[in-house]
């Protein structure tokens, strides 16, 4: 099956939907207007839906008879950044933009809804999850906590993301880890404040902070196997109020990415030992707070996605040997509950990077992504 002919016949409508979403970006779980617009589209297709999570939406399309249930997910939220594309449909909201392509993911899922509403020749049901808050706002967790897997007997779940650097007729399917975990940490270093001219009467925290920063940066090179992927980044250091005062405390913030749960454990443990050891050496207190924000995204059911993509774009255009990336995705939380796969569809080899002010979603991805999703439904149901 090549690109879906019916979807191709009204793809101009879906591009207009995407441009409408692009012009009106909403951030986090504050996707009130986006949800209202998606509901309006679903009603026009004759597709029922329910609210779930925080400003997320779950549509349901029943097939011709009983069978399994597959969920397809598209995210809806934009970013807090200024768009600099100069496009006629560019963001109308200052400081907010769809610089990751979630407007296109939403349009793609709407194209699937429109097609399946008129072609229910499958057994079982398809759930279409329009999710808010993917960009660090716990959107997936809120959907799960609202009873997604208790209210609905879901057998499989699939998602997609556009990906710059690949042609629009290329699809990437990872067998195993696809995207990294994301952890965030804070180390509070507490000493004793005083006058900068009399450090002997203080317990100065900055020397300890310097050693903690340096030691944290050495964890990957000295503790993590060269065969594993991991990143430890110091992202913020805050402390002090004046040039002539040694402060009581300094706070270090950082970010950790890995592609293996055991490496996550190793890095958290190593950061704790660094903080404890340096604190003892300098006579300060150091407290580590470590938060695991996103787990590693591991595709547990990649073969149907590979087969569906191959049916649409051809075997040669399905890439299965690509390395996982160090970015994270809250789709990983769904894969802890049911089997599934998260695939990438090329956004163009010359596309600006995700989260770049010049980035724009390639409208051709709507047709490719929707065709792959429709073929996936055919294969698993």
Residue of 162, 276, 255, 136 whose CA lies nearest to 208: 276
CATH number corresponding to 181-294: 3.30.70.360
> What band does 2 get if pLDDT is binned at 50, 70 and 90?
confident
At residue 258, does pLDDT exceed 80?
yes
Average pLDDT over residues 116-131: 97
Percent of the chain with pLDDT over 90: 98
E strands, the chain, in order: 48-52, 56-62, 65-75, 123-131, 156-163, 171-172, 176-179, 181-190, 194-195, 230-239, 245-246, 249-258, 285-294, 297-299, 318-319, 340-346
State the average pLDDT for the chain: 96
The answer to whether 194 and 201 have CB atoms below 8 angstroms apart is: yes
pLDDT tens-place string over residues 296-324: 999 999 999 999 999 999 999 999 999 99
Assigned token pair, 46:
């004759």
Over 70: is that where the pLDDT of 48 sits? yes
Q: Are 127 and 60 in contact (CB under 8 A)?
A: yes
Give percent of the chain with pLDDT exceeding 70: 100
* CATH assignment, 5-179+297-380: 3.40.630.10
Residue 1 pLDDT greater than 70, yes or no: no
* pLDDT beyond 60 at 61: yes
In the chain, where the domains are located: 5-179+297-380, 181-294
What's residue 219's pLDDT? 95
At which residue do the structure tokens 């409208």 appear? 363
pLDDT digits (tens, 9 = 90+) for 183-220: 999 999 999 999 999 999 999 999 999 999 999 999 99
- Positions annotated as catalytic residues are 77, 134
Question: Which pLDDT score, from 0 to 100, does residue 287 have?
Answer: 97
Say if CB 70 and CB 377 are below 8 A apart: yes
DSSP string for 83-119: -----TT--SSTT-B--SSHHHHHHHHHHHHHHHHT-
- Average the pLDDT over 81-88 and give the result: 96
């Amino acid at each position: 099956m090549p690109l879906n002919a019916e979807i191709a016949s009204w793809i101009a409508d879906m591009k207009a939907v995407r441009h409408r979403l692009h012009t009106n970006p909403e951030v986090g779980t504050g996707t009130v207007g986006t949800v209202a617009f998606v509901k309006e589209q679903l009603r026009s297709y004759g597709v029922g839906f329910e609210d779930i999570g925080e400003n997320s939406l779950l549509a349901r399309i029943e097939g011709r008879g009983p069978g399994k249930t597959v969920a397809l997910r598209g995210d809806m939220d934009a970013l807090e950044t200024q768009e600099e594309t100069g496009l006629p449909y560019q963001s109308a909201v200052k400081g907010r933009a769809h610089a990751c392509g979630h407007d296109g993911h939403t349009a793609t899922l709407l194209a699937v809804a429109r097609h399946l509403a008129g072609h229910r020749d499958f057994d079982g049901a398809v759930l279409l999850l329009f999710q808010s808050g993917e960009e660090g706002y716990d959107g997936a967790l809120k959907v799960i906590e609202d009873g997604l897997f208790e209210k609905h007997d879901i057998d499989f779940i699939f998602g997609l993301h556009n990906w710059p650097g690949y042609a629009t007729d290329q699809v990437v399917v990872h067998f195993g880890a696809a995207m990294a975990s994301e952890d965030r940490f804070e180390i509070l270093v507490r000493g004793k404040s005083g006058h900068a001219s009399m450090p002997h009467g203080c317990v100065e925290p900055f020397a300890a902070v310097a050693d903690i920063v340096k030691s944290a940066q050495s964890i990957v090179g000295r503790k993590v196997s060269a065969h594993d992927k991991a990143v430890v980044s110091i992202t913020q250091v805050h402390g002090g109020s004046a040039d002539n005062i040694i402060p009581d405390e300094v706070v270090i913030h950082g970010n950790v990415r890995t592609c293996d749960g055991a490496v996550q454990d190793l890095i958290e443990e190593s950061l704790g030992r660094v903080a404890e050891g340096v604190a003892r050496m300098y006579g300060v207190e150091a407290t580590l707070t470590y938060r695991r924000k996103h787990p590693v995204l591991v595709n547990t059911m990649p073969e149907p996605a590979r087969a569906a993509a191959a049916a649409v774009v051809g075997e040669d255009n399905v890439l299965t040997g690509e390395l996982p990336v160090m970015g994270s995705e809250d789709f990983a939380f769904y894969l802890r509950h049911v089997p599934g796969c998260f695939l990438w569809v090329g956004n163009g080899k010359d596309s600006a990077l995700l989260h770049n002010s010049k980035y724009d979603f390639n409208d051709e991805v709507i047709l490719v992504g929707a065709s792959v999703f429709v073929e996936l439904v055919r294969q698993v149901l």
